Amino acid sequence: MFALRQLPLACLFLCALSAHADEPAPGGSDKAWTVTGNAGLASQYISRGFRQTWGKPAVQAGVDINHRSGWSAGSWVSNVSDRYIENGKLEWDLYGGYSGSLGEAGYSLNVLYYKYPGAVVKATGTRFDYGELSAGLSYKSLYAKYNYTFTRDFFGIANARGTGYFDGGANLDLGHATVLNLHAGEGRVAGAGNDYWNWRDVKVGLTHTLAGGWSVAGAYTRAYGATHAYDRYTTGVPDAAGHIAYSNPARGSFVLTLVRTF
């Protein structure tokens, strides 16, 4: 299992790969490896329709390593709220896989692991960490992807191996460096009685590319619980004033994001 104190090891791994990124590939001048980074500020962090930062701003950053053969790996981090994720302050994602294309059609296979250091449901001892296998297809501006949870638990829900999340949508080029982003998702939580947490979510947004590697995006997103599980959601943990905070993390929200890619 990963922990914050192991971040330097991950950095050494990334640096070792990036050290070879500028080496010319045999028989040509093209780089075999490319390394890109990104850093951004969001008015709030929303994932799969849920407000991970309880409506508060988020600072986010990541690094991606790609080989011209189609293999890639990366890591991404964001702050989260302990009002939504019990004892959680950070989300740390690790992922890698393979992608390719056949004409205008694309495909991808990836493995992902989501780490929330220190986050655990105190009442059950269930951690929020989980892993997924992901398979995706795309054609022109359309895409579809399915994520399958291979770990025993899923985001604080015990015995949920087999949980699935379908992500479908389109990224339509409107011209003038602007893209219309459309998304619809459906999550089905596996395990006896866990369908209580099932949900659907939608998103409509615009992304505009600026000069110098900058981009700005705005989107409206919301989720719909299959039950009333999210209507008055709480971790049950009092804040500093001794109050227990309730909210609906699935309610409709607007998010504005500024990202710099380098």
pLDDT given at position 29: 40
Cα–Cα nearest to 129, from 118, 140, 145 = 118
188-237 residue pLDDT tens: 999 999 999 999 999 999 999 999 999 999 999 999 999 999 999 999 87
Cα–Cα nearest to 34, from 75, 72, 81 = 72
pLDDT given at position 237: 79
CATH 2.40.160.40 assigned to 35-261: yes
Domain ranges (residues) in the chain: 35-261
Cα–Cα nearest to 226, from 201, 198, 251, 194 = 198
pLDDT given at position 240: 76
The residue length of the chain stands at 262
DSSP state of 197: G
DSSP state of 15: H
CB 166 within 8 A of CB 145: yes
> Is the torsion defined by CA of 161, 77, 59, 62 positive or negative?
negative
112-139 residue pLDDT tens: 999 999 999 999 999 999 999 999 999 9
Q: Which residues of the chain have pLDDT under 70?
A: 1-29
- Predicted structure pTM score: 0.87
